[in-house]
């Protein structure tokens, strides 16, 4: 994990994960540490800003682990009053909204949650996967 903020412009974080067991928790912990440090210098505008950002990180990383097994990269950056959350994985297929399943525990909620929380969302295909960028007000 690389926390970059001093002398390099906007505060940002880059963390690489293997996609194995514990990846989701480690990614969330890394994001939480970044957001906590950010809040010390750039207080969030809303009461839910920190929690919303952690929820988006959890959902995007969970989707990457579940649907694009293998290594992934999480990046967070603060610019112009927004937190940008980027997850890069090895599957070029874009996320597909699924019917949420309340009974079987099969999920289907994550992408719609991210769409609701982010005020801007984009998916960029890459030769070796994709990047998903979510922008949230801070």
pLDDT of residue 8: 53
- pLDDT < 50: residue spans in the chain: 2-7
pLDDT of residue 110: 84
Work out the widest C-alpha separation in the chain, in whole angstroms. 50
Contact in structure between 56 and 98 (CB atoms under 8 Å):
no
> Domain coordinates of the chain in residue numbers?
2-137
Sign of the C-alpha dihedral computed for residues 97, 100, 101 and 105 taken in this order: positive
pLDDT in tens, 41-61: 999 999 999 999 999 999 999
pLDDT of residue 3: 45
pTM for the model stands at: 0.88
Q: Select the CATH number that applies to the domain covering 2-137 from these four: 3.30.70.20, 3.30.565.10, 1.10.540.10, 3.40.50.620.
A: 3.30.565.10
d(CA 122, CA 106): 25
* Residues 6+ positions from 131 with CB-CB distance below 8 Å: 86, 87, 88, 123, 124
pLDDT of residue 69: 87
H helical segments located in 1-137: 23-41, 49-67, 110-117
């Amino acid at each position: 994990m690389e926390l970059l903020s001093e002398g390099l412009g906007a505060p940002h974080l880059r963390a690489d994960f293997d996609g194995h067991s514990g990846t989701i928790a480690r990614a969330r912990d890394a994001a939480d540490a970044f957001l906590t440090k950010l809040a010390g210098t750039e207080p969030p505008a809303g009461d839910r800003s920190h929690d919303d950002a952690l929820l988006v990180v959890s959902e995007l990383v969970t989707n990457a682990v579940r649907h694009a097994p293998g290594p992934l990269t999480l990046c967070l950056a603060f610019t112009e009053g927004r937190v940008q959350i980027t997850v890069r994985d090895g599957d070029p297929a874009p996320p597909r909204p699924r019917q949420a399943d309340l009974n079987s525990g099969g999920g289907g909620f994550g992408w719609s949650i991210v769409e609701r929380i982010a005020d801007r969302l984009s998916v960029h295909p890459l030769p070796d996967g994709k990047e998903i960028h979510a922008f949230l007000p801070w």
